[in-house]
Structure 1
Amino acid sequence: MNLPGIFITIEGVEGAGKSTAIAGVAEWFGAHGREVDCTREPGGTPIAEAIRQLLLNPVEEDLVPLTELMLMFAARAQHVAGRIKPGLAAGKVVISDRFTDSSRAYQGAGRGLDRSLIETLAQAAEQGVSPDLTLLLDLPVDIGMKRAAARRGACAHDRFERERHDFFERVRAGFLELARQSSRFALIDAAAPIVDVQTQIQTVLAARFPQGGVNCG
C-alpha cells in the first residue's frame, strides 16, 4: 500500500521541549509502521546547515533583521527542495523542528518585520508544501528560559538565546495568534510534566491520523 506522506511541524519558544516532543511523535508513528524522517530548521541539508551557522553563531558584524529573514527563507527553500518534498513523495512522515511559523513569530512578531513580505517569501520557499499538523508547545517565557539555561549549562548562547525577555514574549504572542487563526495547529501545554505533554500529543495524533495516517484524508 502506498501511503501518503505526512508533514508535521513542531513550534514553540526556547525551552519548550521540542526535541522530546519530536522523539515522541516519531515513536508514535513508528509504532504504526510508518517511516519517519526527523529534521530541523534552519538546517536539514548541507547547504541549509551552513546557513544555520551564519544565523545562530554570533559574529563581530551584526546580522540585521532583514538579512536574518532572507537567510531563514534561503535555508527553507533548500530544505524543502532537498529533503521535505522528497520525503513526502516517498510516503514518509516528515517531522520538522520549526518551519515557516517560526519566521512569522520570530522575525514577524519578534523583530517587527513586514508580514506581507514574510508571506511572499513563504509562498516562494515552501514550493507548495504546507504542514498537515503543527504542534505548538506553549509555556510561559520565564519557564522556557529557565529550562533552556539548564539545558545549555556552560555552553555559549546562540544569537537567539541572547535576546531579551520582551522579545520572547512577542514571539510567544505571535505563535498564539497563529494558533488562533488556523485549525492546522494543536496547542500543547508544555509547562506540564513530560508524561502529560506526551499524552496530549498522542491524543492529538490519534485524532488527526487514525491508524498512523492510513485513513487520513
Structure 2
Amino acid sequence: MIGMSILVIVAAATTSAVFVSRMLAESSIYQNTSFTVAQGYVEQIKSIEYVLLTNALDNYESHKGTVGGWDVLSSDAYQTNSIAEKVMLDTRSIDSSESGVASETEFETRAPLYIGAWVERNVLIDIRNPGENNQHELLMPMRFKVEMTNLSDTTENVDALEITLLYSYQTNIRGDKHWYDGELRFVRCNAPTF
C-alpha cells in the first residue's frame, strides 16, 4: 500500500513536470518566432532609402490626427486608403493565408508597415500532418506598428531617425489565448554609400 502511494505521488509529479515543460517550450516557440519576424521587419526598414523614411514621417506628421484614429488595419485597408499609402513602409513577408491552408507558392508578398498605425499579420508557426492532403497550419496572429522620431541636428549636419517597431503576438497554449508585447528600437542615419 505504501509502495503504491509513493508510485502515485512520483507519477503525478512527473506528469506535472512534463506538462509544465511542454508549456514552457510552446511559449518559447511563440516568443522566438515573434522576435525573429519582428527582427526581419527591422532589417527591411533599415534597407529602405533614408529619403523615403523621412517622406513617410513628414506625411505622418501632416496626417497624425487621422492616422492616430485608425483601428488595426486589415490587409485590404491600405489598398483603398490614400493616406495609408503616404505613411507606408514597403516591406514584404512570406504569405501565410488566413484560411489555414498552406501557400503552395511560398513566395514573398507585399506586407507594408505603417508609421503610427497597427497592422495585423498571420505568421506561420508550424504545419501539422506534413505531406498529407489535409495538412493544417498553426498560425500566430501578430500586430506591428512603426514609430519614428526625427533626431536630426541642423547645427551639426546630422540626419538621423530613431525608429521603434512595436509588435504584439498572440499565444494559444492549450486553448488559452494571451497577447504579449515587444519592441525593437534602432537609429537610422543618413550616411552616404559608395
The answer, yes or no, to whether TM exceeds 0.5 is no
TM range (shorter): under 0.3
Identify the structure with the greater strand proportion: 2
Higher RCO by CA contacts (8 Å cutoff, separation 6 or greater): 1
- Rg comparison, structure with higher value: 2
| TM, length-normalised to structure 2 | 0.25
Identify the structure with the greater helix proportion: 1
